[in-house]
Chains A and B, each alone.
Chain A
Amino acid sequence: MPDSPYRRPSPEELLRQVEAEESYRKRGKLKVFLGYASGVGKTFRMLDEGRRRKMRGEDVVVASLQPSASAEVRALLSGFEEIPAATGLGGPAIDVPAVLRRRPGVCLIDGLAYENPPGSQHAERWEDVEELLEAGISVITSINLQFVQERQQQVQQILGRSVKESVPETFLRTADEIEIVDAPPEYCVTRAAQGVGGEAVDPVQLEHQLSELREIALVLAAEVVDQQLELYLRRQGIAQVYGTHERILVCVTPRSNASLMIRRGRRQADRFHGDLHVVYVQQDGLNPADRKILEENLACAREANALVEILQGEEPIESILQFAARQGITQIFVGHSPPSGWLSGWKKNPVERLIMGAEGIDVRIFPHSGTRHG
């Protein structure tokens, strides 16, 4: 799935990111407070951060606040200079020219996911934010998970309703800092149970939905941290794998019980909120029957949303180990060595060689098709 948001960036991509980052050194800094539902306290945290920065002497202004702000939030707000919204176009929008004229050090923008009224310079608010950042103004903002474009389908499946506005996840990933605003669902249940558009919501079901959203938000934040950490390590030239993110590599051949291995790999990856890779090391002289089985195995891998790659190499074990090191794999799944067939021609048992060669990686060995399934 090359367009999956979960794909691990290649070294080239990471490098490009580094270069981009360097060229943007004059950019303002973007900090995002991410919550999984309304009522977790994103706005409060954002304003509190603004307040503390102001106390420390930074020049902080507020450029937008959501109309639904609570009394607690209103109280915090009174200490800030506000730049009134532009209302000329028939809807509220950040008055970007006014902010640029004022040139604050930090601009607080509550609710990143707004569409601007027709006729605005940018269609979406996040594009306004981009302009402010380019002008060297730092932005602190808040967003609710349901507005993250790449996650909207999942959220919609959970909540059974959709929202129109969205912010691309790629934009969020450019943030210098993402902080999660976590709270157990009970905090939002009372608020949300009051209903959207007056419809009654079952609190038990709602709590369940909210905890699923909470899990997604936490994993999203973890993935962003993981990506930024990797970037940092690369930039510092530190060759270290922390194994915080489980990455499972399933090695298939025509002989392996691929469907079991992939199923187990998928489950393990899901439970660990990790990634699933499936590789095949190219072999010469495959007979048509084997080629067909292999094609089926790889199709099965794609269907399981695995990242599939065909490796080239004289020595299959070496190719697998190199791939594993490159991708930061934490678990390798392989088939047992049969008396003949899999990687035949090796004098030493290939599975043993893999086990001894896999530094810091677990190796899980599976029975072949036809033997007992676990």
Chain B
Amino acid sequence: MAEAAAKRSGKLKVFLGYAAGVGKTYKMLEEAQQLKQQGHDVVLGYFEPHGRQDTIAKIEGLELIPRKRVEYRGHFFEEMNTDAILARQPEICAVDEFPHTNVPGSPRGKRWEDVMILIEAGIDVLTTMNVQHLESLNDQMREITGIQVRETIPDWVVKQADEVVLIDLTPRALLNRLRRGVVYGPEKAERAMENFFKEQTLAALRELALRQTAHEVDLRQGDGLPSALLTGAASARETLTPAANEPRERILIHVTEAAATAGMIRRGRRVADYLKADCFAVCVLPTAGMAVLPKATSEAIEQHLDFARKLHIETRVLEGADAAEALVDFARRNGVTQIFLARPPKRSIPWLRRKHPAMKIVELAKDMQVTVVAERRYATPPA
């Protein structure tokens, strides 16, 4: 805590929505204006008007830090000018579109990384994002929308926020806004309504945003217990679980080259976050190491380990002649309470199959809990 005392870091507040047009930016600017009126030193670090008149009207009187022009392959792009904000050293800075990916050649790859720099410098940041950009929800998003969201934010980044506020709007109200041309121009609005902005898609996303916010609120209650009172099972809990005495879960994620691994890592991370559990990712290589593996295999494994580290999951590489045995042995020695595996792919001729390593792990770990994660069924992507 000594370093925290040396330099107070800024606070982060996230305005969370579920689609374009629900009013995140508007709400953020409204708060920026209020803070300014109360005498705080507020600047606008990045603002994306999207041609929305109501929102544009809200920036009046706020100091806007000019964007930085970045050249990439002969074109100019505009990004947030983090250095200029640091030089200006405001008390509070509003930054639109938290999950944005910077153009290549920028000092940092992601806007959230820029925001972290501002916070480290002691600047409070207000920012906006949609729930679909949360990394651990990536598979669920594809399940709902059929779209693979590329711009994601690791969950731990959002967890750093001091506050997450939900900007709620019913899908019907949002669709009305869309029809009235408040969100997009007429052509884009029509296309949007045929694809992403279908009522059921919006309702599902809204539900996720509500649940995510409830989870963020739960996390910040800080007592390590879920809200017992939410379930109405208070009496059962008392007799069944003195929750404080429950052992802390330790989740081990089995990393392989299989494509399903990425989804399983996300799921494992999410479950670990909800259970407030420890989480680590382990892969088992042949005794001769990575070198004997085909290039595609070793690359896929590296990629998955790298992905796990990005989600703040500690990784380990083991070596052993029998992957299943090595993994289960490691799990036993390290007090793992739950092993996460990806479901084996279906074979066309099941009776010819050799026992899949995942099934072998299930067999070997009869004294442990094993979770087999199935891939989610994805919605058909919009045409």
Contacts and interface: CB of A to CB of B under 8 A. Distances in A.
A215 B230 contact: yes
A267 B143 contact: no
A367 B368 contact: yes
Interface stretch (B45-53, B84-92, B231-239, B279-287): B231-239
A362 B170 contact: no
Given A181-B168, A267-B241, A360-B374, A367 B367 contact: yes
Given A184-B163, A360-B376, A228 B240 contact: no
Contact of B230 (A184, A216, A262, A267): A216
Interface residues of A, number: 77
A184 B377 contact: no
A244 B204 contact: yes
B374 A362 contact: yes
A254 to B, nearest CB: 18
A268 interface: yes
Contact of A366 (B166, B199, B210, B369): B369
Contacts of B229: 154, 157-158, 212, 216
A243 B240 CA distance: 27
A179 B169 contact: yes
A218 B217 contact: yes
B230 A229 contact: no
A300 interface: yes
Contacts of B271: 268
A179 B213 CA distance: 14
The interface size bin for chain B is: 35 or more
A225 B210 CA distance: 9
A201 interface: no
A270 B369 contact: no
A63 B369 CA distance: 59
Contacts of A78: none
A12 B237 CA distance: 32
Interface stretch (A84-92, A233-241, A282-290): A233-241
Contacts of A229: 200, 203-204, 207
B239 A374 contact: no
B370 A303 contact: no
Contact of B210 (A218, A359, A372): A218
B211 interface: yes
Given A216-B229, A218-B166, A271-B274, A363 B366 contact: no
B237 A266 contact: yes
Given A182-B213, A270-B226, A212 B338 contact: no
Contacts of A5: 232
B168 A180 contact: yes
Contacts of B210: 180, 218-219, 221-222, 225
A244 B236 contact: no
B227 A180 contact: no
A374 B243 CA distance: 15
Contacts, number: 208
A157 B234 contact: yes
A370 to B, nearest CB: 10
Given A154-B229, A157-B234, A374 B369 contact: yes
B111 interface: no
Interface in A172-195: 176-184
Interface string B347-383: 0000000000001001000111111111111010000
B140 interface: yes
A225 B275 CA distance: 24
Contacts of A243: 140, 143, 376
A228 to B, nearest CB: 7
Interface string B195-239: 000011001101110110111011011000011111111111101
B165 interface: yes
A371 B369 CA distance: 11
A314 interface: no
Given A4-B232, A177-B173, A270-B231, A211 B221 contact: yes
Interface in A130-183: 153-154, 157-158, 176-183
A336 interface: yes
A324 B226 CA distance: 26
A5 B232 CA distance: 10
Contacts of A303: 235-236, 239-240
A367 B247 CA distance: 16
B377 A244 contact: no
A29 to B, nearest CB: 9
Nearest to B276: A271
Contacts of B239: 303
A358 interface: yes
B343 interface: yes
A26 interface: no
B240 A300 contact: yes
A214 interface: yes
A249 interface: no
Contacts of B376: 243, 360
Contact of B207 (A245, A271, A374): A245
Contact of A242 (B204, B235, B362, B367): B204
B217 A215 contact: yes
B379 A240 contact: yes
A225 B206 contact: yes
A226 interface: yes
B267 interface: yes
Residue among B233, B246, B373 with max Cβ neighbours from chain A (10 Å) = B233
B214 A225 contact: no
A66 to B, nearest CB: 22
A364 B369 contact: yes
A16 B220 CA distance: 40
Contacts of B243: 267
B346 interface: yes
Given A305-B236, A374-B368, 6 more contacts: A180-B210, A211-B221, A219-B230, A229-B204, A266-B236, A304-B240
Q: Which 4 A-B pairs have the closest CB atoms?
A: A305-B233, A218-B214, A222-B210, A374-B337
29 contacts: A4-B232, A153-B232, A177-B173, A179-B173, A211-B220, A211-B221, A216-B230, A222-B214, A225-B207, A238-B200, A242-B140, A243-B376, A244-B144, A245-B211, A267-B246, A268-B275, A270-B228, A271-B274, A272-B274, A300-B240, A349-B359, A352-B359, A355-B374, A356-B343, A360-B143, A362-B371, A362-B374, A367-B369, A374-B368
Interface of A: 4-6, 31, 153-154, 157-158, 176-184, 208, 211-212, 214-216, 218-219, 221-222, 225-226, 228-229, 232-233, 236, 238, 240, 242-245, 259, 262-264, 266-273, 300, 303-305, 336, 338, 349, 351-352, 355-356, 358-368, 371-372, 374
